[in-house]
Structure 1
Amino acid sequence: MDDKKIIKIHNKSDKPDNIVFKENVLIERCIKVENKLPKFMKDYFIYLKGSVATSTRLAYLEDIHFFCVYLTETKDVTSADKPFDITLDDFKKIKARDINLFLGDYCSRYYKHTEKNTLIFENNSRALARKKSSLSTLFKFLYRNDQLDNNITDGFNPIKLPKPQPDAIKRLEIDEVAKMLDAVDTGYGLTDKEKVYWRKTRLRDKAILALFVTYGLRLNELRELNISSFNFSRGEFKIYRKRGKEVLMPINHTCESVVKDYILNERPQSELLKEEYKDTLFLSLQNKRMDPKAIRQLVKKYTSISMETSRESGYSPHKLRATAATSLIQSGFSIYDVQNLLDHDNVTTTQLYAAHKKNVKRDIVNNFEWIDEDEKNEIEDLNI
């Protein structure tokens, strides 16, 4: 008998079925990891469920499972062979030094041996910092929950993260955006093989790129769009941000035009599609919701043409998010307006893009004159 069950969504919320399904997939993955971890962590699982986004919850659980596997392999504090069998008494033996050795020595470079290969894994400072954060939340919770006698997290070694530099932010210049949109319009720069697909997806690809560079959408925000997300009579469309936040976005003339053009002139009619894809906006050639890999490849292809570089050197969708931010700021919008549009938690993130505004000091000074032009001429006449 097949163990796979068909999941049917009984949705009474305002969220579309694809968003509910996506969240359910993450929840199921969380539960699967939880079932591999020790039972004494159950209270912590409940805490995570109510305090962080589902994607963050999954990341924390996977980091903790990775740590528990490490404990079973090293046998320094436990004799358990599987993470599930680790006891609370085992955890009480763990000192800050053990965590520091795990993060600083083991995680920075570790090996996995298979029958055919030895795989080498490395973690950069950002990955190590996230693992440290995952373990910190666990040990702090167990201490607050009276399961551990001491809070060992104060002894965790700091992990210095490189400070983001504005000059390191990769994005398209405004003229390169124009070249990119021209390429998707005309097929310029595409190989003969690429043009075969371009003729079938030109309007779709143009709509995708226009939405990316106008709104700085995240990949999944764009991927999960439906036809019903758009209310053209009100001039707005709905997206679902991280943490399930629902946001209404005004739609400008350019984006309304390209989205309508795609829906009316290229996208297959909904009655010809399977039920689960009838409302999906951006479809693959197989008439399914586009997968993230396909969207990344699409963006890399057209950005590489605009920058006159190889396909491998093309930009990711996140670089188009940076392009939207810098373009808006260069057009005169405040960093707080751009922060709101892009959903940055902290305005300091948006400020990095503001550093790309050219001649900002000259613009400020030239538009802040204390003496008007007539007075300036009078002073010059007196000095003759």
Structure 2
Amino acid sequence: MGADSEYNRKLYLSRLEKLHELEAELPGYCLSFLDDKELTSQINTVVSYAYDLITFFKFLAEKNPILNDNEKIKDIPLEILDQLTFEDINEFQRFLQFNNGENKHVNKEKGIARRMSAVRGFYEFMCLHHYLKNNPTLGAAKRKKAPKKDIIRMNSDEVNTLMDTVINTNIKVSDRQRALCEKTTLRDTAIFTLLLNTGIRVSECVGLDIDDFNFDENSFTVVRKGGNTQILYFNRAVAEAIKDYIEFERPTLLADSKEKALFLSLRKSRITVRSVQILVQKYTRMAVPGKKLTPHKMRSTYGTALYRETGDIRLVADVLGHKDINTTAKHYAAIEDEHRRRAATIDPYGTDKS
């Protein structure tokens, strides 16, 4: 079941191993901060913080005149951090935006804001615990918020067109590609049906084991973002698609009868997140060419449809696994506006005789 699955244990251990590799590149005084984050955050978040700190220290090594050009970031002394000013932090933000030096990169506002969040959190921790006295991030410029983008989602007609494309392998590809598609038609149908009718994340989808499903209750156990498990329920369309795949196609993809993974690749191993992303690109490019869709947009499509039908934002938040209802409300604010516009066209008292 979910949290105890071998797949999820291996996934966690691989991320933990990556974290330790990154920590080995950083000065030793960074480890207390990352250890603290490891106790309070998801492992992927801590890995991201480690990457962001490495970027910060690479900036110092490349741009700070006090340091030697050949100095390794691991050897940067703590005293340097206390000597930085808000101008140095602003220069770091410009460094993040564009750098054509040794560490070439370009970042957009969202990427800069994320890395600045890590550096601000690092300085706050170091000052709180008296490693440092000076926090130069306090006076640094705050990034302007990136303009909100419309949430890309599909309407009912587009969903039906997409599913028809998947089920009938109705895509304009070579004979060889069509033959490969036909080998996994039931699997692909099951994946798309599951994503579009439950709103689970692609990482949650690929982590499913066959014994996570209970067809007597039409329920399945999913390991949510953060590692907690939750029981979700599915409709008849999902039940039929999963059963057909398990009975008729999954056996042809099995290399070992003891394999627990639900969704398998043609290489006879658990399908990867990247493979599902490619599947979504392939089918949606043909079925809904006007929209750039990803597995996460399948999730948005389901959340939107569910909210339209129920008007219950708390229900949508619970089903999607959002810990903070404000996350859900932010994604579906456009529908709230649609409701208000619709309300303005209604004459509830029959007074409009025109």
- TM-score > 0.5 by shorter chain: yes
State the 1:205 CA deviation.
0.2
> Equivalent of 1:199, from 154, 157, 182?
182
Q: Please give the secondary structure, in 2, of the residue aligned with 1:281.
A: coil
Counterpart in the other structure of 2:62: 73
2: distance between equivalents of 1:124 and 1:218? 25
Q: Please give the secondary structure, in 2, of the residue aligned with 1:225.
A: coil
2: distance between equivalents of 1:109 and 1:54? 28
Matched, 1:284 2:275: no
Matched, 1:122 2:111: no
Retained in 2: the 8 A contact 1:330–1:357?
no
Counterpart in the other structure of 2:227: 244
2: distance between equivalents of 1:342 and 1:149? 43
Distance 1:289 1:349, change over 3 A: same
Q: 4+ residue runs of structure 1 moved beyond 6 angstroms? A: 365-368
| Higher CA-based Rg | 1
> Equivalent of 2:274, from 258, 274, 293?
293
State the 1:129 CA deviation.
0.4
Q: Please give the secondary structure, in 2, of the residue aligned with 1:28.
A: helix
In structure 2, give the amino acid aligned to 1:182: D
Matched, 1:18 2:7: yes
Retained in 2: the 8 A contact 1:26–1:54?
yes
Q: Structure 1: any 5+ residue segments left out of the alignment?
A: 1-11, 114-118
**Correspondences of 1:1-384 after superposition (within 5 Å):** 14-79=3-68, 81-103=71-93, 105-111=94-100, 120-165=104-149, 168-191=150-173, 192-268=175-251, 272-273=255-256, 278-308=259-289, 314-351=292-329, 352-356=331-335, 360-361=339-340, 364=343, 369=348
State the 1:356 CA deviation.
4.0
Retained in 1: the 8 A contact 2:281–2:293?
yes
Retained in 2: the 8 A contact 1:329–1:357?
no
In structure 2, give the amino acid aligned to 1:298: L
1: distance between equivalents of 2:338 and 2:31? 56
2: distance between equivalents of 1:361 and 1:89? 57
Scaled by the length of structure 1, the TM-score of the pair is 0.83
Distance 1:200 1:271, change over 3 A: closer
Retained in 2: the 8 A contact 1:335–1:354?
no
State the 1:195 CA deviation.
1.5
Q: Please give the secondary structure, in 1, of the residue aligned with 2:99.
A: strand
Q: Please give the secondary structure, in 2, of the residue aligned with 1:242.
A: coil
1: distance between equivalents of 2:2 and 2:89? 43
Cα deviation code 1:79-126 (max 9, x no counterpart): 4711111111222212222111111x211011255xxxxx85210010
Retained in 1: the 8 A contact 2:254–2:268?
no
State the 1:314 CA deviation.
4.7
Q: Please give the secondary structure, in 2, of the residue aligned with 1:249.
A: strand
2: distance between equivalents of 1:81 and 1:120? 18
2: distance between equivalents of 1:132 and 1:358? 33
Q: Please give the secondary structure, in 2, of the residue aligned with 1:81.
A: coil
Between the two structures, name the one with larger relative contact order (CA 8 Å, sep ≥ 6).
2
Retained in 2: the 8 A contact 1:36–1:83?
yes
Retained in 2: the 8 A contact 1:77–1:94?
no
1: distance between equivalents of 2:170 and 2:348? 46
Cα deviation code 1:218-274 (max 9, x no counterpart): 111111111021122232111112111211101221111111110111002797427
1: distance between equivalents of 2:55 and 2:152? 32
Retained in 1: the 8 A contact 2:2–2:208?
no
Cα deviation code 1:269-320 (max 9, x no counterpart): 7974275xx00011100101112221111111221222246xxx65111111
Retained in 2: the 8 A contact 1:221–1:239?
yes
